[in-house]
């Protein structure tokens, strides 16, 4: 199987890229690598969950004995190993993405980029939930900086590109995925939507979303390094397997943080959201 295409999913962390990656990775022609930059931590002695497959732990049919021969061949190697022509990478770091784009451009591999956008207020809330001690102003500044860098990457991207709203992905999933499969020039496979019933081997990514696979395929729990925080455990226990629009920020976000966000980043956030309103 030859590698035909690499599809990058970019955007701010906590924007739903794990969900989108898992859905696309459920297509017969696609393999979702997770955040492929985590390949550099693979087999490291650390017990961090980033050093192994989030589903299988160390005993993984894809990553278990994976050794990257040349960083330039990462996607080529993955395509051979998984026997799929399209590799999906949801690393959000602009520097990693730029490096991969430069490498692949030379190899004449078709490049595609999906910019997944989620309301900044929801992103900040997820971030503050995960890292309780972080300074809200700093979290907001990091978001602004990440969005500015991602906008630049998107504008300069040499291949096919598309912008997708997390809200649409979560609320009109089928329609949104059909838009994306058309963009990737692959057929829409209805079973993709039930991503939790498929086999996956992601590196990194959102543990809560991935835990839905373990909920559906309980036998996978034995080896998976996934551990939910108490608060998320409570949320995902009641979470249906189906995709649910996460709007927890509306009740969880401190009004003071909301005000600070509006002051610092309101205009930037609205620019993106307005683009979709016009469509
Ligand atoms: Zn695995």
* Domains with residue ranges and CATH for the chain: 5-278 (3.40.50.300)
Question: Separation of 261 CA from ligand 1 center, angstroms?
Answer: 38
Question: Separation of 254 CA from ligand 1 center, angstroms?
Answer: 38
Task: Say what the pLDDT of residue 112 is.
Answer: 98
Choose the weakest-confidence range: 180-184, 205-209, 264-268.
205-209
Question: Separation of 8 CA from ligand 1 center, angstroms?
Answer: 20
H helices of 108-254, in order, are: 120-130, 136-156, 166-171, 173-183, 207-216, 230-237, 249-252
Structure tokens that stand for 258 in this block: 């909301």
- The 10 Å Cβ neighbour count of residue 260 is 17
pLDDT class of 193 with cuts at 50, 70, 90: very high
- Calculate what percentage of the chain has a pLDDT beyond 90: 68
Question: Separation of 157 CA from ligand 1 center, angstroms?
Answer: 31
Q: What is the rounded average pLDDT of the residues 149-170?
A: 96
- Distance (Å) of CA 115 to CA 61, 182, 192: 30, 16, 20
Question: Separation of 258 CA from ligand 1 center, angstroms?
Answer: 39
Question: Separation of 11 CA from ligand 1 center, angstroms?
Answer: 25
Question: Separation of 135 CA from ligand 1 center, angstroms?
Answer: 35
pLDDT class of 234 with cuts at 50, 70, 90: low
CA distance 197 to 88: 18
Question: Separation of 203 CA from ligand 1 center, angstroms?
Answer: 8
3-state secondary structure of 111: strand
Question: Separation of 215 CA from ligand 1 center, angstroms?
Answer: 16
Residues with beta carbon < 5 A to ion ligand 1? 53, 55-56, 60, 201
pLDDT class of 1 with cuts at 50, 70, 90: low
Question: Separation of 201 CA from ligand 1 center, angstroms?
Answer: 4
Choose the weakest-confidence range: 42-56, 201-215, 224-238.
224-238
The residues, ordered by sequence, that sit 6+ positions from 10 with a Cβ below 8 Å of its Cβ are: 17, 92, 94, 97, 113, 114, 115, 116, 150, 153, 154
Question: Separation of 63 CA from ligand 1 center, angstroms?
Answer: 6
pLDDT class of 142 with cuts at 50, 70, 90: very high
More confident residue, 99 or 51: 99
Task: Say what the pLDDT of residue 171 is.
Answer: 93
Structure tokens that stand for 245 in this block: 């629009």
Question: Separation of 176 CA from ligand 1 center, angstroms?
Answer: 27
**Which range, 118-122, 215-219, 238-242, is most confident?**
118-122
Task: Say what the pLDDT of residue 279 is.
Answer: 62
């Amino acid at each position: 199987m030859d590698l035909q295409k690499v599809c990058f999913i970019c955007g701010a962390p906590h924007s739903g890229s794990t969900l989108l990656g898992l859905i696309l990775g459920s297509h017969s022609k696609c393999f979702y690598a997770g955040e492929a930059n985590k390949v550099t931590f693979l087999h490291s002695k650390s017990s961090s969950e980033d050093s192994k497959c989030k589903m299988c732990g160390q005993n993984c049919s894809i990553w278990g004995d994976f050794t990257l021969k040349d960083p330039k061949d990462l996607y080529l190697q993955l395509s051979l190993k998984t026997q799929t022509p399209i590799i999906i990478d949801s690393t959000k770091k602009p520097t990693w993405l730029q490096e991969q784009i430069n490498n692949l451009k030379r190899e004449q591999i078709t490049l595609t980029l999906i910019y997944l956008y989620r309301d900044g207020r929801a992103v900040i809330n997820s971030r503050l939930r995960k890292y309780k001690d972080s300074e809200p102003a700093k979290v907001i500044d990091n978001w602004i900086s990440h969005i500015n860098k991602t906008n630049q990457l998107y504008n300069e991207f040499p291949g096919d590109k598309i912008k997708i709203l997390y809200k649409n992905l979560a609320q009109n999933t089928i329609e949104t995925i059909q838009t994306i499969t058309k963009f990737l020039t692959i057929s829409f496979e209805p079973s993709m939507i039930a991503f939790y019933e498929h086999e996956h081997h992601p590196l990194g990514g959102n543990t809560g979303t991935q835990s839905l696979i373990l909920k559906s395929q309980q036998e996978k729990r034995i080896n998976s390094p996934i551990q939910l925080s108490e608060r998320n455990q409570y949320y995902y226990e009641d979470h249906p397997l189906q995709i649910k629009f996460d709007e927890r920020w509306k009740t969880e976000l401190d009004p003071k943080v909301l005000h600070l966000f509006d002051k610092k980043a309101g205009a930037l956030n609205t620019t993106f959201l307005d683009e979709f309103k016009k469509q």
